[in-house]
Structure 1
Amino acid sequence: MIRLKTMLAATAATMLSLPAMAQTEVVWWDFLGGGDGVRMKALIERFNEEHDDIQITGTTLEWGVPFYTKVRTSAAVGEGPDIMTYHLSRVPLALEEGVLSPITDEDLEMAGLSGDDFFDSAVSAASGPDGTLYAVPFDIHSIVLYYNKSYLEGTEFLDEDGNLTGIDSLDDFNRALQHAADNGSTDPLSFQTGGPGGVWRVFYTLLGQQGGEMIVDGEVLPGDNAEKAATALQVMRDWRDAGFIPEQAEYPASVALFTSGQSAFHMNGVWEVPTLVDMEANGTLGFEWGAVQVPVLMDQEATWADSHALAIPNQPAAPMSDEKREAVMTVIGWMSQNSISWASAGHIPAYVPTTESAEYQGMEPNATYASLAQSAFFDPRSEIAGVASPAYDVALNVMVPQIHGFFDTDEALEQIRDELGRALR
């Protein structure tokens, strides 16, 4: 008996002396504010609750140029994060700067993923010219057409179920806008007409619907692409001249025009879906609404799109251990497989099993516009395009004044080609 007690005591002492299970910290940086930020923080919290061996330490930084500048400078000295959110439109510049670590098939296998799990358009945008993957797509976010049903009641533009219909051309859309104007809509179509993001996204959609390309083989608007760009610009100018769009509306004002009931239509990102869902739920939205893929106004389906992706910075000064990389890929795999929560932010999950799930198919209006993932028109694969790029600068400095009558279309087109041409050189 004494011997048994001695053995038990020795065993207990040995167990107390053993180190606790090793825990790997994964440092996470993102640029997600507002509703996106709330949802991402909830995902990180859930991951941490479900994992004892890996814990994410998250930090949210300022969106746009400040984020990407900090990533570049921090990674260069080995003080960057282990994982970060990244816009796929920034991948071409990232490859030039060497800030992204390639993601191999073995990495994806560690995450329980494969390239076939994601939409082809997003995988292409996440890859280099040689097909090497540099980020794992997390969503596809695009502009959609929001509509206020009250302005369309009793017209050919609502079907018997109250869904938008009958807009199959620019002429159809203009007739719908005129009908809304005749029935009291002060700004029938709202979007950010005074800032770069809204103007670029609408312009690029109209360009893509003509089969146009902004940059081809290092040349800005070569061949008939210039004529197609001029047409896109003129369409927006015509909307302004007809009184269909607001003068110099900044982003919050453009959203408010729609949510207050002044605009019959609103072109904006899917990320505003939660705004409308929440307003509807708390009784502060005074009308029924819907959201659909931007109709074919020109010749073919195409809608400006970008993707949030998950990427690993390239840090030669502080190489990542195999253990850390496995932990990072575990995080990426878990986030992809739980991206139904991210869909509540309005985004289309890039992970196809999520978008094909019954739960996603039951989400509205998300499921209605999910088809745009097949016609997503990503920004030009160029180091001067994408979020917070010279292309966005041109949208602000040239396209905005052109739409509002300060430049004629030909003059604006010449400036666009000159400014982006210099940026390419």
Structure 2
Amino acid sequence: MTFKTLARASALAALVGSATPALAQQTITWWDFFAGGDGVRMKALISQFNEEHSDIQIEATTLEWGVPFYTKIRTSAAVGQGPDLMTYHLSRMPLGLEEGVLTPITEADLEAAGLSESDFFEGSVEAAKGPDGTLYAVPFDIHSVVLYYNKSYLEGSRFLDDDGNLTGIESVSDFEEAMQVAAENGSETPLTYATGDDGGVYRVFYTLLSQQGGTLISDSGEILPGESTEMAERAVEIMTKWQSEGWQPEQALYEASVALFTSGKSAFQINGVWEVPTMTDLQDSGELGFEWGAVEVPKLMDEQTTWADSHAWAIPVQGEEEMDPEKREAVMTVIGWMEEHAIQWADAGHIPAYKPVAESEEFAAMEPNATYSSLAENATYDPRSEVAGVASPAYDAAVNIISPAIHGYLSPEDAVAQMKAELQSRMN
């Protein structure tokens, strides 16, 4: 190419550039708390997004789940050194609002993502709002505890139908009968959950309380108001009986409680949907020695409901600075893309909060997710309180007070009284 030709080409490029200026690539700083199977699936989604987009790229960092994550969010937001986009538990919404670390998600934001509030299950959207109705996060999933079961311990009983599916559990007494059947059929520990861990104890306790119509913390901040105190005592009594009968493990931490089920020693497991990948991976590798299923926690008490939470997307405060509009639009583009590809996240056991995916034929064919997907409509989220939610004083009270009670160190009445006093003392 001659110098004259090169000059002419450069001039033409300048003219074209001035007519249609190129948009700068947006780099989105992302923080999440996903490890294990969740982490593998989220990293795959991020990689796919980056491959499909030349104008937006995600730079992701995974931090430690729980208190460390939310502490880092609080400190980084104060000095303006946080991420552009983060994952967030909706049960932490009240604390996030109290700390002032969340920015509102506007109608314009949703439009930029190609979303609207009506695209999501009502319970998840309401949990993503502040008291005044302002949206502060976009739900990504609904995750809950479900009842896993080992079919081998129930064969020949009334608790398996002709297709080998769990049936006949419509009360606490039914469930206890099923555990006794499993024990008689050789199950060493008929029911497993993390009896010595905060999450395992809290989620079972809260489910039993909610199924009675009980309230842990009222909107006005009262702990176990009215008849809820007696309902809480009843929940602890039930869990204590399961312990005294030898149906559940002694002070089991999370990993040990899972191992009891995967090794074939337990007939039932109450645990999160996030353990579905563990079960399917073991099944696919031939390492699982039994047939299993998973269903919504049955109606053991008066109402069909189960503890639940949601992972969501949130945009944190950046100190005194406001996010550049083009950057914010890019963040919302990422959120919209993730929602549209939520079927890949459902592979981790979760129920998509985005109804176009949750109601798709592809999700309907996904098992066992589709079997327990009804919990999306029946879920009871944690109380809207700064002392409730993941890694909160309510979880601490579960492991420090409720767990000793179910192991016989406190009466249900004393345990509930101590829990009320502890949570009340932590209220502002």
TM-score (normalised: structure 1): 0.97
For 1:7 and 1:115, locate their aligned partners in 2 and report how far apart those are by CA, in whole Å.
Answer: 56
Match of 1:50 in 2: 52
1:160 matches 2:162 = yes
Please state how far the C-alpha of 1:231 moved relative to its aligned partner.
0.5
Per mean C-alpha deviation after superposition, the further-off stretch among 41-50 and 315-324 is 315-324
SS of equivalent to 2:374: helix
Matched ranges for 1:100-179 at <5 A? 100-179=102-181
1:252 matches 2:252 = no
Match of 1:363 in 2: 366
For 1:158 and 1:289, locate their aligned partners in 2 and report how far apart those are by CA, in whole Å.
Answer: 12
1:269 matches 2:284 = no
Match of 1:335 in 2: 338
1:385 matches 2:388 = yes
Match of 2:425 in 1: 422
| Unaligned residue ranges in structure 2 (runs of 5+) | none
Please state how far the C-alpha of 1:15 moved relative to its aligned partner.
3.2
Question: Quick one: which amino acid aligns to residue 61 of structure 2?
Answer: T
TM-score (normalised: structure 2): 0.96
For 1:354 and 1:20, locate their aligned partners in 2 and report how far apart those are by CA, in whole Å.
Answer: 34
Matched ranges for 1:30-49 at <5 A? 30-49=32-51
2:8 to 2, 7, 10: 10
Please state how far the C-alpha of 1:36 moved relative to its aligned partner.
0.4
Question: Quick one: which amino acid aligns to residue 244 of structure 1?
Answer: W
2:210 to 205, 208, 211: 208
The alignment of Structure 1 onto Structure 2 pairs a total of residues equal to 422
Please state how far the C-alpha of 1:318 moved relative to its aligned partner.
2.5
For 1:97 and 1:61, locate their aligned partners in 2 and report how far apart those are by CA, in whole Å.
Answer: 20
| Unaligned residue ranges in structure 1 (runs of 5+) | none
1:301 to 300, 304, 313: 304
SS of equivalent to 1:11: helix
Match of 2:402 in 1: 399
Question: Quick one: which amino acid aligns to residue 380 of structure 1?
Answer: P
Deviations 1:248-285 (A, max 9, x none): 00000000000000000000000000000000000000
Please state how far the C-alpha of 1:73 moved relative to its aligned partner.
0.4
1:24 matches 2:26 = yes
For 1:424 and 1:124, locate their aligned partners in 2 and report how far apart those are by CA, in whole Å.
Answer: 22
1:325 to 314, 325, 328: 328
Please state how far the C-alpha of 1:20 moved relative to its aligned partner.
6.5
1:314 to 292, 304, 317: 317
For 2:149 and 2:140, locate their aligned partners in 1 and report how far apart those are by CA, in whole Å.
Answer: 27
1:222 to 205, 220, 225: 225
Percent sequence identity over aligned pairs: 65
SS of equivalent to 2:142: strand
C-alpha RMSD of the superposition:
1.5
Per mean C-alpha deviation after superposition, the further-off stretch among 250-259 and 20-29 is 20-29
